[in-house]
Amino acid sequence: MTGKVIVPIFSILMLSACLVGPRRGGGLEVVPILPVVVEIGDDDYYSQGGYHYFYTGDRWYYSSSRDGDRRELPRSHWPREVHRRGGGWR
């Protein structure tokens, strides 16, 4: 009985740190949450865990490749602060 309770609870905790969404062509993909503070370059890109994140100044998008189809990242997965390399923050 204990194992039947622990597995779902563990799964919920692990998936709360990720975004699970549909992948083009079928299936699901897991996208990790961005860290609390993100540092981006002049090109407004940030890479983590095999994903590329693009910041437009008011929204975050993600893709599995830098030039691939971008999908909007839910607000719950956004960082609290965005810093530019070389100083400054947004």
64 within 8 A of 37, measured Cβ to Cβ: no
pLDDT at residue 6 is higher than 90 = no
pLDDT bucket at 88, cuts 50 / 70 / 90: low
Dump pLDDT digits (tens) for 35-83.
999 999 888 999 988 889 999 878 999 988 888 888 888 888 899 999 9
Cα–Cα dist 39/51, whole Å = 15
The reported pLDDT for the residue numbered 15 is: 45
The reported pLDDT for the residue numbered 23 is: 57
60 within 8 A of 72, measured Cβ to Cβ: yes
pLDDT at residue 11 is higher than 70 = no
46 within 8 A of 55, measured Cβ to Cβ: yes
The reported pLDDT for the residue numbered 14 is: 47
